[in-house]
Amino acid sequence: MGSDQELICQVDENDHIVGSCLRGEAHKLGLRHRSVHILVFNSEGELYLQKRSSTKDVNPGLWDTSAAGHVDFGESYEESARRELVEELGIDYSEPLEPLFKMEASADTGWEFIQVYQLTYDGVLQPEPNEIIDGRWFGLTELQTWIAHGGEGLTPSFQILWSRFCGI
């Protein structure tokens, strides 16, 4: 769970670690850093989205990927993804996560290199109430229509990620 005092990886333009920085500092100063986003699908092909808590400092109250977070200093992308799945959704997933693609750090991503993973999960979800105020499964056509009509209520990073996922 993110706090401005969280120690995360600061990276260069090639995603090589150059040191650590505080999460709040990275966002305030526009420092390149790492994050993960995990797309959790069910066996019906629906995607689970979470509605971010209104207390979040970035994109409060908006719908976002199933789980996401910053890569802590000393942590790999996959370790971070596994931690976020447990912390945000209560998913302790033992299989290897499927990496999809990495988004380059830019102003559009908040200077985050974003490693995107996906998994299929039909178990019980336990959303963390301090992080997530709502969550539900969405059909892919429903998501495409939502984004085609402007994507109001979705985080900008999810819209970028989804466009890349769909090859748009």
Say which CATH topology domain 7-166 has: Nucleoside Triphosphate Pyrophosphohydrolase (3.90.79)
Distances (CA, A) of 152 to 63, 107, 145, 156: 9, 20, 11, 9
pLDDT, position 5: 77
Residue 132: phi and psi, rounded to 5, are -130, 125
pLDDT, position 1: 47
Q: Which residues of the chain have pLDDT under 70?
A: 1-4, 168
Q: What is the 3-state secondary structure (H, E, C) of 113-135?
A: EEEEEEEECCCCCCCCCCCEEEE
Whole-angstrom Cα distance, residue 132 to residue 125? Answer: 12
The tens digit of pLDDT for each residue in 90-114 reads: 999 888 899 999 999 998 888 999 9
pLDDT, position 54: 87
CB-side neighbour CA atoms (13 Å) of 126? 5
Specify which residues 40 forms β-bridges with.
119
Whole-angstrom Cα distance, residue 27 to residue 17? Answer: 17
